[in-house]
Amino acid sequence: MSAARQRRRGWVIATLVVGAALLAFTLGLEPGNDLFLVAGFAMAAVWAGGALLSGPMPPGNGDMSLARALALGTGVGAFLLGGCLVVALFVAEVPVLREPAEALLEHADGGTLLPVFVMTAVGGVGEEMFFRGALYDALPQHLAIVVTTVVYTLTTVGSAVFLLVVAAAMLGAVTAVLRQRTGGLAAPIATHLMWSLGMLLLLPHALATGR
């Protein structure tokens, strides 16, 4: 193994440990806690910082033009968003599944939607830099899609939000495939932002159908 690959793996492991712990802490905060935004932005900094420290990032759009990569990612993100909202309609009918998701969304209540929106966007970029950037490049090519998807999904298990875990598995798999097909991060980032920001704005309405 080359020294560069060893260095990348070392930073990836360290970042995973810190990032997962910070994510668990952030998701465990009560709605209205002033630390939520601070922890959320800190988590985004951990993912992005760990990715940058691990080594060079892949090209933003790989072999595609930037416009085409962004269009592809946005379209895929919209399709994924629609699928997750359909799942949410079923989750809305099951209180034991709906209530944890509603509790998580309460962090955007009380006039804090704009900063949560910005935090979600920044966090999405940081996660793609790390999971589909640094972590992906630290793995053998034939394992990268499966391992990054599993690891990304596992980071959300501690939230105990069923919908979030399912969505993470779907998002992780789709963005990993986009990274492989395009060779860069522009399409995965566009997909992640379309999905995460759409879920933030539309998921409360989907869950409200079960009340």
- Mean pLDDT value across residues 38-65: 91
Residue 1 has what pLDDT?
A: 60
Determine the 3-state secondary structure of 1 from DSSP: coil
pLDDT in tens, 81-136: 999 999 999 988 988 888 888 888 887 765 578 888 999 999 999 999 999 999 99
**Between 136 and 35, the higher pLDDT residue:** 136
Mean confidence (pLDDT) of the chain: 90
Q: Where does the pLDDT of residue 211 fall: very low under 50, low under 70, confident under 90, or very high at 90 and above?
A: low
Cβ burial of 47 (10 Å; 0-12, 13-18, 19+) is buried
The predicted model scores a pTM of 0.93
pLDDT in tens, 141-160: 999 999 999 999 998 887 77
Residue 31 has what pLDDT?
A: 77
Q: Where does the pLDDT of residue 70 fall: very low under 50, low under 70, confident under 90, or very high at 90 and above?
A: very high
Inter-axis angle of helices 95-105 and 162-182, nearest 10: 70
